[in-house]
Each structure stands twice: as C-alpha cells, then as structure tokens.
Copies of this chain bind each other. A is one copy, B any other.
Amino acid sequence: MSKATDILDAALELFEGGSYGSTPVPALAQRAGVGTGTIYRHFPGKEGVVNALYQRWKTALAARLLDELQPSDPEATFREIWRRLCSFVIEQPAAFAFLESHHHQQYLDAESRRIGDELDTAMTELIAIWQRAGKVRSGPASLMVAQAYGGLVGVARAHRDRGLALPADLADQTATGAWNLLSLQHHPEKENST
C-alpha cells in the first residue's frame, strides 16, 4: 500500500492549487516516484486519484472535528471545534486548501459528494440546534456556517497564495470573531442610517 500512499501524497502537492485539470498523469507519477502505469494499478484513473484524495482528507477532517467531542454549552463546543479546525489548518494547510478548491467540482463522484455534504450538514444542524436553544441568532444557519468556515478558508488560501504566515495561536486570534458571526445580533436599522 505504500505506493498508493506515495501517489496520494504526490497528488496533494500537485493538485493543491486547483491544478488537477492541468497536471498530466506522468507528472504525478514522476512526483510519486513510480511509473505511469503504476497509477492505474492502484486507482481506476486520474479521477479515481482525486476522489480518493478528497475522501481521505475530508474523512480525516471530519474525524478531527467531531470525534470524541464532549457535550458542553454551545459556545464552548464551538470554540473546541474551531480550535480543532485551526489545528488541522496549521498542520495540514495543503490538505485544507485542496479540500476547499475541489469542493463540488464536477469530477467528484457520488461518494465524494456525500462525504463532503455530510460535514456541511453536521455543522449546519449543530447551528440549528443552538438557534432553537436561543444561543445563536436567528437567520439561515447554512449562511452562518458558510461565512465562518469561509473565513478560515480565506486564511488558508492567503497562506498558500500570498505566503501569509499561520500563527500558532490562529484559533485564539479568530475564534471570538467566528463565534460572534453566529451569536451577535446585527442592527439593520442603524447600518442603513449615516
């Protein structure tokens, strides 16, 4: 199985920036240190590689965020999830960037999409529960998740594209702001006045 792992590791390096479409299979093989044909002994084809890679890391991310999560009050739970998410981003920025830049791409198969949606759904449902408990403001839960999660995606992309350093206390710097996206009431009447 070492060859399959080598191939997936090489694929992560090469596909990370969204260059799946423009990376030839021989280039992937060379980076993995195997022959071109070896790719096809371990995966059904190029799409098989990108789907295996997506599933591998999306599963790892979901496990990281949700495994053995202790029940607690909403804000503490959110901060714990956020801390885990930031630790994943810091430890695996390439994998995180890959997952985001390949989300909902047309070459992902049904299983990849299912796994991808599963995490989204779990997060959105958590928010909805907290809304019913009065701990999160009203409004579309999926919009809040998208904004909070997207903020961290933006940070990861800035790291990859422009070399932004990821501080060790990333969670500390961003958790309060992220939680406020969910909990703080907005003041539409005031925002429209000048």
Contacts and interface: CB of A to CB of B under 8 A. Distances in A.
Interface of A: 17-22, 72, 76, 79, 83, 101, 103-107, 117, 120, 139-140, 142-143, 145-155, 157-158, 161-162, 164-165, 167, 169, 171-178, 180-182, 184-188, 191-192, 194
B105 A18 contact: yes
Given A143-B173, A151-B147, A173-B186, A162 B120 contact: yes
Nearest to A185: B176
Given A104-B17, A105-B18, A191 B174 contact: no
Given A21-B21, A151-B154, A175 B191 contact: yes
Nearest to A70: B194
Contacts of A185: 176
Contacts of A101: 18, 101
